[in-house]
Amino acid sequence: MGRELSDYVLKTIMNLSSLHRVEIYYKWNLIERDPDDNKFVDCAIASNARFLVSHDKHFKVLKNIAFPKVEVISTNGFKEELKIANS
């Protein structure tokens, strides 16, 4: 069930008309404790994202980094943002 759901979500996202490919030209390496997480931070920075949605504890370090600023919110915070945007 988990794999089927993730495949469905990925397929849905990939078919969005607002989806844009982002090239990463610089690796910031802001998360030292889990370097694999840096690809998500780099993508958020390169795409000028308002925030990054995650519950991963390694992203907490971003609160203490002034530049480049990456705001991390939970899925519940993201749901609230969607409600605000759609009202």
Instruction: List pLDDT tens digits, range 19-74.
Output: 888 999 999 999 999 999 999 999 999 999 999 999 999 999 999 999 999 999 99
48 φψ region: left (φ > 0), alpha (ψ -120 to 50), beta (else): left
HSE, side-chain direction, 13 A CA sphere, residue 61 = 12
Query: Residue 1: pLDDT above 70?
Result: no
Quick one: pLDDT at residue 71?
Answer: 96
CA–CA distance, 32 with 74 (Å, rounded to integer): 21
The pLDDT value recorded for residue 4 is: 87
Q: No. of H helices and E strands in the chain? A: 3, 2
